[in-house]
Structure 1
Amino acid sequence: MSTPVIDSLLLRCTPAAHETATTLAQTALALLRQDLAGLRLLRVAQQPQGTAYLYFALGSPQPLSADQTVQAERRLQNAGSAGLAACELSRLQLVMHCTGPALGEATPVHYAVEMDPESGWQDELFAWYDQEHLPGLASVAGTAQAFRYLNLDHGPLSLACYDLVDAEVMGCPAWLAVRGTDWSARVRPHFTNTRRTMFDTQALP
């Protein structure tokens, strides 16, 4: 089996009381750059007093094996940071990126939806995401960007995420209309291992 070509990395971690997600991101970036030249930090997102999602972009897409990722994850876990001691590092493949009306505005809210498709439903679920759902939500006023990735390591497999100007965007009529289509009603029951998480974003160092 060929080694997959990777665009991005996701680091899940939980900052300790004396740490910040931004500090952990800087520590992780320095360590990961030892093997991945050109790596840059894309986003620092954290639940209040909880889990942080740190997104990194590779300088250019490149093959990255599961073994290489595990080695990098262990290096992070052994860095001496309480917040990284139980971290999870995953390879992400970018499937789709859509820009929205709020591109260029401040986006203090990051919303992520993760799921594994039920057996036999992956093709239709991914078609729904790419043809209707992700572009539809990206077009809603208040959305700056929307991304869909495949998480090749810690999963769930599908990660869709949205940069928003405000959490209230998710309750507006346009957003709810996209969520309420017939196609959505047909496929959404076939999400498994679903995680829906609202994060606050932090300024990049």
Structure 2
Amino acid sequence: MTRQRRAGLLLVMMEPEPGHENDLNRWYDEEHLAERLAVPGITSARRFRALQGGPRYLALYDLDGPDVVASPAYLERKRHPTPWTRRVEAHVTIVRNVYVEITAVPAGEG
């Protein structure tokens, strides 16, 4: 039996400019993750730092579906960033990609 799942994933890769890494990490820990997790449909978030190569930072957000990033709640936060968000994003190269899950049955579930 094939189960159709339309879960989404937001993948964000970040490379801070020299001298802005600590601000990026504090912003994520103290403001950004909680703000994003308050958006309906964002179910979890994780951050990673590359052991080598780059971009140095990766954030993964599990979504109820890929359309979460087009929802009014998500777009409101994107359109009206906090002062800290504006400051951090001015000094970080950011690549965002949204994905839809295509796995028929996720590994470990059948």
TM-score normalised according to structure 2 size? 0.77
Per the alignment, residue 142 of structure 1 pairs with 41
Amino acid at match of 1:163: D
Q: Between Structure 1 and Structure 2, how many residues are aligned?
A: 99
For the structure 1 residues 171 and 200, does the alpha-carbon distance in structure 2 shift closer, same or farther, using more than 3 Å as the test?
closer
Pick the aligned partner of 2:20 from 103, 109, 121: 121
Q: Which has the higher contact order (CA 8 A, sep 6+)?
A: 2
2: CA distance, partners of 1:177 / 1:109: 19
Per the alignment, residue 99 of structure 2 pairs with 199
- Larger Cα-atom Rg: 1
Amino acid at match of 1:198: V
- The C-alpha deviation readout for 1:45-82, integer Å capped at 9, x for no partner, is xxxxxxxxxxxxxxxxxxxxxxxxxxxxxxxxxxxxxx
Matches within 5 A, 1:1-205: 108-179=7-78, 180-192=81-93, 194-201=94-101, 202=103, 203-205=105-107
TM-superposed CA distance for 1:107, in Å, is 6.2
Contact 1:133–1:178, Cα closer than 8 Å, also in 2: no
Structure showing the higher strand proportion among its residues: 1
Q: Identity, % of aligned pairs? A: 35
TM-score normalised according to structure 1 size? 0.44
TM-superposed CA distance for 1:138, in Å, is 1.3
